[in-house]
A and B are shown apart, each in its own frame.
Chain A
């Protein structure tokens, strides 16, 4: 024999409706008011790409500058040879 107490549960909810209402979480309006507004994802990605691209460009310049610094000795030796031959 299996009992069914659905009606008793419904009756209980009706009897305690006031207290049940207090247990519900925040409304979506309240949540959205509390959370920071969402950024425009497309614009944000564009900005990231632009800044990332500039950083990559700077790194290339730094690499080139470093390479030139390393071959600087060769340049001066070439210069010396040129002067000696002249």
Chain B
């Protein structure tokens, strides 16, 4: 009875395997669904990015066309402290930068040429300094104005960036769960298809093996009966004839 043990295991396994079945195409379908999910995610994210890019463009357009001109007007008109200070500094620097210092300072009365030359050099340096001062006022104005413009733009852009990141995170999280679920289902379907495939292979093999077993059994039977026929004859001739007759009958059986 020892040989029954593996057969019993085999039968049991096939019985278990017979409980689950799924065509291979279910795995292929699950694969297609997985790819489709990935494409949907890419498309969805692209739409989100385009939407927020549009919002950022609206902000930039507003800043260029509305906010910055209005802001500069408020500064230059000197309605508030910063603007007043700028206007005063600008007016003063502009006035001083345009002074004709040579005419303003009477140097014609200086007779000593060296003193006169030194006075002319001082006047030239003064003119440079005052024009430089005008440039510095404009530079300070530009720096502060640009800082305010950048800050305002950032105030408007930051919530858009944050919301875009939040929406993309939520979408990625959702799609990751969808992909994980799809992968689990695909894995399960693949395992079911694998079981079915292995079961079919074994059943096919067992059919062949069964045929082999029958052939072995028949061969043993032939051997036993032929020997029996050979031994049953009263004479050697009878024995050989009976043996050949039995052999012919059994050969027909083997052919079947």
Q: Do A and B come from one complex?
A: yes
- Cross-interface CB contact of A31 among B55, B167, B174, cutoff 8 Å: B167
Please tell me if B74 contacts chain A, counting CB pairs below 8 Å. yes
Within 8 A of A (CB), among B158-176: 159-160, 163, 166-167, 170-171, 173-174
A39 to B145, CA, bound (A): 49
Within 8 A of A (CB), among B3-27: 3, 6-7, 9-10, 13-14, 16-17, 20
Indicate if the CB atoms of A51 and B202 lie closer than 8 Å. no
Indicate if the CB atoms of A16 and B81 lie closer than 8 Å. no
Check A48/B180 contact, CB under 8 A, given A1-B89, A5-B148, A65-B199: yes
Which chain B residues have a beta carbon within 8 Å of chain A's beta carbons? Answer: 2-3, 6-7, 9-10, 13-14, 16-17, 20, 52, 55, 58-59, 62, 66-67, 70-71, 74-75, 79-83, 85-86, 89, 136-137, 140-141, 143-145, 148, 151-152, 156, 159-160, 163, 166-167, 170-171, 173-174, 177, 180-181, 184-185, 187-188, 190-192, 194-195, 197-199, 201-202, 205-206, 209, 212-213, 216-217, 220
8 residue pairs, one from A and one from B, having the closest CB atoms: A58-B191, A7-B80, A69-B202, A65-B198, A80-B216, A55-B191, A8-B74, A62-B194
